[in-house]
Chain A
């Protein structure tokens, strides 16, 4: 079963605007990761946030994690056309099965 559900499913913004996408999950986790996928290509790791962290930054990316609500958000600031891609969250459940569980993704389109 899918652990992560991203919201929205699709997002279209103008270049320079910020893009926010959310991920909700169902069970306790050790960490949550965000990945990016350009159309039909392999996924690329963006950032990992551990369950004892609340916020993390990497360049134009800001990730938050709220374990009480079982949710995470990814903020991309000052979006560029090159940010157009699908974004997935992936969780590492505490059940210890070493099975990353991916959500269904948010398709982001940044208009130049």
Chain B
């Protein structure tokens, strides 16, 4: 089954304690991206990756890191989490990051709800 898997789904942590949210896709997609969703703000892009070892900042990258060492994995790292990073996080992937040559469909994970105390 084609899917994007995120872990953990729920996490409560404390300020400053490093954490990693993993994301894995089994569709051989080139493009992967992280979003955060906050009430009234919709989805905002944190980082995205066009391919292995190629990453770029989205609209709200501060306080986050990513890496793309393998095509299927795109972990999101919070080196020193702060309460303003409390949010619902989504990982997504698509064939090539646009609808210019295919359906452009983004496949989303089920989300990771993070609370930073």
Contacts and interface: CB of A to CB of B under 8 A. Distances in A.
Interface of A: 1-2, 4, 30-31, 33, 35, 40-45, 48, 50, 88, 90, 92, 97-105
B41 A98 contact: no
Contact of A98 (B48, B90, B107, B109): B48
B108 A48 contact: no
A48 B90 contact: no
Contact of A45 (B41, B105, B109, B111): B105
Interface of B: 4, 31, 33, 35, 40-45, 48, 50, 56, 58-59, 88, 90, 92, 97-100, 103-111, 113
Contacts of A44: 108
B104 A33 contact: yes
A13 B52 CA distance: 46
A100 B45 contact: yes
B108 A43 contact: yes
A83 B21 CA distance: 30
B105 A92 contact: no
Contact of A92 (B92, B100, B110): B100
B33 A100 contact: yes
A90 B35 CA distance: 13
A1 B105 contact: no
Nearest to B3: A42
B91 to A, nearest CB: 9
A99 B45 contact: yes
Given A30-B100, A42-B90, A97-B56, 9 more contacts: A1-B59, A31-B104, A33-B99, A43-B43, A45-B105, A50-B99, A88-B43, A98-B50, A102-B45
Contact of B98 (A4, A35, A98, A104): A98
